[in-house]
Amino acid sequence: MASSVTSPNFSPINCPKLPLRFPRLLNNLRLPPATSSKSAANATTFWSAAESDVETHLLASLPASPPRVVTSPMRRVLSAAPRTIFPSLSLAACGLAGGDHGCAVPAASVIATCLAVLQAHGSGPTRAELLAGDSLLPLAFEILVASDCVAADPARISKAAVEINGLVRAYCVEEGREGRIGECAAACGAILGGGGEGEVERLRRFGYNAGVMHGMVNRGRREAAEEFKMRATREVEEGGFEEGKVEMAKELVQMWCGGTRSSNS
């Protein structure tokens, strides 16, 4: 997707809270085995708490002092994005791979930004929103390379950027879109979480199945979605991951299958 907008200089600012609807998932919360309505409530709280981290990180990365004619369309593009599971898939995979929350949030912010821009292109944006949205794409990758993980392991950041690029390409293909986006998002998180090759590939499969499930739920095909819910659950159960994080991932998959609806993927 070509952009005619030159990326401005970016620096952190204190922004008023906007009504963004990006999925949230903290990867450092420990929960007992999920067998009750209490654990389902915990999963909801878990998801909601992390959305705040992603939103705060994203808003802090917006241009510091551009004219209102630039920032207003940017914020409209971001706030109009439908809620999806993909940023939280990346965070979940990072946690399952043993990663640090600080490395996961920038990547989840990038995924949320890319999906917001891509969704805006398909929803008849104004010219100002179209140009502002395109200018957010270079910002998204700047968020990633500016993260604290770059100095620690720049190779992993490069690999994560490749996965996010794959996610953008996957969005542009109608058939199998959600599964491809899901596998890219989860692989990105697993890479940043320090996962080995086997862990990355297992979590890629987890993301694929969760993504397909999400798409089926959004189309009202809940019975068909159950098969992919079981496949996603099996991938994390058999991966040798920390028990508390496995149980949380399973609860999140159950919650998403129960109806995390959006108007688009």
Token digits for 51? 């959305």
Q: What's the whole-model pTM score?
A: 0.78
Residue 139 contacts residue 61 (beta carbons within 8 Å): yes
Q: What is the DSSP letter of 238?
A: T
The predicted structure's pLDDT at residue 183: 93
Highest mean pLDDT, choosing among 87-101, 133-147, 223-237: 223-237
Dist. CA 147–CA 228, nearest whole Å: 33
For residue range 194-250, what is the model confidence (pLDDT) as tens digits?
Answer: 999 999 999 999 999 999 999 999 889 999 999 999 999 999 999 999 998 999 899
Counting every residue written for the chain, the total comes to 265
How many beta carbons lie within 10 A of that of residue 232, not counting itself? 30
3-class SS at 223?
helix
The predicted structure's pLDDT at residue 10: 26
Mean pLDDT of the chain: 76
For residue range 113-138, what is the model confidence (pLDDT) as tens digits?
Answer: 888 888 887 776 677 778 877 878 88
Per-residue pLDDT band for 61 (boundaries 50, 70, 90) equals: confident
How many beta carbons lie within 10 A of that of residue 259, not counting itself? 11
Q: Report DSSP letters for 93-136, one per residue.
A: HHHHTT--HHHHHHHHHHHHHHHHHHHHHTS---HHHHHHHHHH
The predicted structure's pLDDT at residue 215: 92
